Amino acid sequence: MRIIKLKKIINPLNVGYFIIVFYTLLAILAPLLHLKDPKQIYVDNMLSKPSSEFLLGTDLNGMDILSRTIYAARLDLSIAFAAVFLSFIIGIAVGSLIGFMGGFIDSVVTRILDLFQAYPVLILALAISGIASDSLITVVFIITLVDAPVFIRLVRSEVIKLKSALFVESAKALGNNDFRIVFRHILPIAIPPVLIQIPIRIAYSINIVAAMAFVGVGIQQPTPEWGSMIKLGTPYISSGEWWMAIFPGIAIFGICLALNMISDELQKKSLRSRS
């Protein structure tokens, strides 16, 4: 009996949620965890192996990797969550508008989206960071630029599908205005499939933030960030100081795995409920 109950609780979805919550709590509670200052340089302990004092070792600048990894979560997660959330809102607003109205506006906006999505992300990021400052806002802006078109298209396609549904025509026949039709009838059904895309987009965004820092765009040293930590540590893997790059790597891997698991399970659930 107990084993069956345990198996029911330990399913991919719950494990995924657990990991996300774990990360989020660590990130929020970081200042309370008696960690070492992530930007503090320990001159005597540069490039030292994981030990009882520095649980995950120190990097070539003498900064504690454990605290840096955890503090980096605050940055990476907040950027990704913020950007995806913003993109989601923009997606609903723009997607429902152009999907419902169709015609000229729809064609124009879709072409603009094509233009944006034609560029490889990092090229776009480099281009924009060349003009703008190397700040948090810039990074959020770039990620939103990448994610918003995806959400706009998703919402748009759902709205177009539902636009010609009989219950929408019925709603019109009852005397609903366009606004009510979109908000009361179309969006409640259009949004759930779009929500399912959020976990995977967050995973993607975290990767982009890290990749950007890796190529030297956006977040720079000494601010702790997974991507820049990996960049710093990569040359040292072959020479034996593996801990610099591996731990931030595991951090990214962990949360992306969790998000993927959640995404998979949600997709499966939605397919099941549709049949």
Which range touches another protein (CB under 8 A), out of 18-26, 91-99, 170-178, 265-273?
A: 170-178
Which amino acid would we find at residue 94? V
Q: What number of chain residues touch another protein (CB under 8 A)?
A: 16
Closer to another protein by Cβ: residue 171 or 257:
171
Question: Does residue 271 belong to the site contacting another protein (CB under 8 A)?
Answer: no
Residues constituting the chain: 275
228 CB-contact burial (10 Å; exposed 0-12 / middle 13-18 / buried 19+): buried
Helix boundaries (H) for the chain: 2-9, 12-29, 65-101, 103-118, 121-131, 136-163, 166-174, 178-180, 187-195, 198-214, 226-233, 243-274
Question: Does residue 189 belong to the site contacting another protein (CB under 8 A)?
Answer: yes
**CA atoms of 205 and 201, how far apart (whole Å):** 6
Question: Does residue 60 belong to the site contacting another protein (CB under 8 A)?
Answer: no
Closer to another protein by Cβ: residue 75 or 186:
186
Which range touches another protein (CB under 8 A), out of 67-75, 145-153, 181-189, 259-267?
A: 181-189
Quick one: which of 166, 238, 271, 272 contacts another protein (CB under 8 A)?
166
Question: Does residue 167 belong to the site contacting another protein (CB under 8 A)?
Answer: yes
Question: Does residue 165 belong to the site contacting another protein (CB under 8 A)?
Answer: yes
Question: Does residue 185 belong to the site contacting another protein (CB under 8 A)?
Answer: yes
Distances (CA, A) of 108 to 93, 98, 102, 159: 16, 9, 10, 17
Question: Residue 240, Cβ neighbours under 10 Å: how many?
Answer: 9
Question: Does residue 183 belong to the site contacting another protein (CB under 8 A)?
Answer: no
Give contact residues for another protein (rule: CB under 8 A): 165-167, 169-177, 180, 185, 188-189
